[in-house]
Amino acid sequence: MGTRMSIASRRELVAATASRYRASARREKRRILDEFVAVTGYHRKHAVRILNGSVRAVESARGGGGRPRLYDEAVREALIVLWEASDRVCGKRLKPLLPVMTDALERHGHLHLHDNVRERLLSVSPATIDRLLAPTRLAVRGGQRTRARTATPLRRSVPIRTFADWDSPAPGFMEADLVAHSGEDPSGSFVHTLTLTDVASGWTECVALVVREATLVVEALDRLRATMPFRLRGFDTDNGSEFLNETVLAYCKAHEIEFTRSRPYRKNDQAWVEQKNGAVVRRLVGYRRLEGLAATEALTRLYAASRLFVNFFQPSFKLKEKTKIGSRVTKRYHAPETPCARLLALDVISEGTKERLRGAAATLDPLRLLDEIRTMQHHIATLAAGHVLQAVPGRNADLDEFLRGMAAAWRDGEVRPTHRKEVKPRRYWRTRKDPFEFVWPTIEGWLATDPDRTAKELFERLQLNEQTPFPDGQLRTLQRRVKQWRSARARELVFGDPVLSAAAGAHLSLTAPAAPGADVVAGMTI
**Residue 23 lies in domain:** 7-52
* Element counts in the chain: helices (H) and strands (E): 20, 9
| Residue 525: predicted pLDDT | 36
Q: Which neighbouring-strand residues pair with 319?
A: 333
* Residue 496 binned pLDDT confidence (cut-offs 50, 70, 90): low
Q: Answer whether residue 515 shows pLDDT above 80.
A: no
pTM above 0.85, yes or no: no
Asked if residue 185 belongs to a domain, the reply is yes
Give bridge partners of residue 205 from the DSSP assignment: 196
Asked whether residue 422 is assigned to any structural domain, the reply reads no
363 and 519 in contact (C-beta within 8 Å)?
Answer: yes
> Residue 136's pLDDT band (boundaries 50, 70, 90)?
confident
Are 127 and 180 members of one domain? Answer: no
Q: What is the pLDDT of residue 402?
A: 76
CATH number at residue 325: 3.30.420.10
Q: How many domains does the chain have?
A: 4
The answer on 491 and 346 residing in a single domain is no
Domain match, 407 and 485 both: no
Q: Is the pLDDT of residue 355 over 90?
A: yes
Mean pLDDT of 284-290: 92
Q: Furthest-apart CA pair in the chain: how many Å?
A: 92
In a domain? residue 418: no
Characterize 276-313 residue by residue with b for buried, 16 or more Cβ atoms within 10 angstroms of its Cβ, and e for exposed. bbeebbbbbbbbbbbbeebbbbbbebbbbbbbbbbbbb
* 374: amino acid identity, one letter: R
Which range is most confident: 132-146, 262-276, 355-369?
A: 355-369
pLDDT 10s digits, 32-43: 888 888 888 888
Do 33 and 128 belong to one domain?
no
**Domain co-membership, 194 together with 309:** yes
Residue 289 within any structural domain of the chain = yes
Q: What's the pLDDT tens digit per position in 305-325? A: 999 999 999 999 888 888 888
Section 328-343 average pLDDT: 91
Q: Are residues 447 and 301 in the same domain?
A: no
Q: What average pLDDT does range 124-149 have in this prediction?
A: 73
Q: Above 90 in pLDDT, residue 153?
A: no
Q: Do residues 218 and 355 share a domain?
A: yes
Return the SS3 of 12. Answer: helix
Is residue 4 predicted with pLDDT exceeding 80?
no
**Does residue 117 form part of some domain?**
yes
Tens digits of residue pLDDT in 429-445:
667 788 888 888 888 88
Banded model confidence at residue 125, pLDDT cuts 50, 70, 90: very high
Residues 405, 366 share a domain = no
What average pLDDT does the segment 146-150 reach?
43
The pLDDT value given to residue 319: 84
Do residue 378 and residue 399 come from a single domain? no
Q: Are strands 192-198 and 173-180 parallel, antiparallel or unpaired?
A: antiparallel
The residue-averaged pLDDT of 128-154 equals 65
Q: Does residue 465 have a pLDDT over 60?
A: yes
Q: What is the pLDDT of residue 225?
A: 93
- Does a structural domain hold residue 2? no
**215-219, 305-309, 399-403, 520-524: least confident range:** 520-524
Q: Are residues 16 and 44 in the same domain?
A: yes
pLDDT averaged over every residue in the chain: 82
Same domain, yes or no, for 179 and 326? Answer: yes
Q: What 3 state SS string does 168-193 have? A: CCCCCEEEEEEEECECCCCCCCCCEE
Secondary structure of 104-167 as H, E, C letters: HHHHCCCCCCCHHHHHHHHHCCHHHHHHHHHHHHHCCCCCCCCCCCCCCCCCCCCCECCHHHCC
What's the whole-number mean pLDDT along residues 362-386?
A: 91
The predicted-structure confidence for 112-123, as pLDDT tens digits, reads as follows: 888 888 899 999
* pLDDT grade for 155, boundaries at 50, 70 and 90: low
Q: What is the pLDDT of residue 144?
A: 40
Residue % of the chain over a pLDDT of 90: 35
The answer to whether residues 84 and 415 touch, using CB atoms and an 8 Å cutoff, is: yes
426: confidence class by pLDDT, cuts 50, 70, 90: low
Query: What's residue 453's pLDDT?
Result: 86
Least confident stretch, 33-42, 64-73, 263-272: 64-73
Within a domain: residue 424?
no
**Residue 400 placed within a domain:** yes
Residue type, 384: A
One domain for residues 446 and 352 = no
Asked if the model's pLDDT at residue 166 lies above 80, the reply is no
Q: For 184-215, how does the pLDDT look when each residue is reduced to its tens digit (9 = 90+)?
A: 888 889 999 999 999 999 999 999 999 999 99
CB-count exposure of residue 505 (10 Å: 0-12, 13-18, 19+): exposed
